[in-house]
Amino acid sequence: MSWGEYRQADFLKENLKYKMDWIVKAYRYKKFIEIENKAELEFFKQRPLIFSIVYLINLPTNIVYLINRFRWNYQYEKICIEARYLRKEINKIDNKTKLLN
């Protein structure tokens, strides 16, 4: 393996490591948000009048929150795809070097 290929594989592995760390933390955050939303729904099922009032008062904030959730899910899926692609590239370089050795 040439020096350039070694350095490229090393950089890709480091980038993959950071992406995988981000994915793990994002997955935990995603699960936390799901649990929080379920608990909030259970609370408001018992008090539908309060839910209606709070929902109407916070409607602009809820819309912004929804847009942020869409953006966050987009970012999560994008980084997952990037991590898969990085794995493929690293495997290509590793397989190429195994054939040369």
Given this model, what pLDDT does residue 83 score? 95
Amino acid (1-letter code) at residue 64:
V
For residue 15 the two structure tokens come to 């980038």
Contact 98, 5 (CB under 8 A): no
Given this model, what pLDDT does residue 15 score? 93
For residue 56 the two structure tokens come to 């109407």
For residue 47 the two structure tokens come to 């008090």
How many percent of the chain have pLDDT more than 70?
A: 89
Question: For 22-65, what is each residue's pLDDT tens digit?
Answer: 999 999 999 999 999 999 889 889 998 988 898 899 999 999 99
Question: For 70-93, what is each residue's pLDDT tens digit?
Answer: 999 999 999 999 999 999 999 888
3-state SS, one letter per residue, for 38-94: HHHHHHHHHCHHHHHHHHHHCHHHHHHHHHHHHHHHHHHHHHHHHHHHHHHHHHHHH
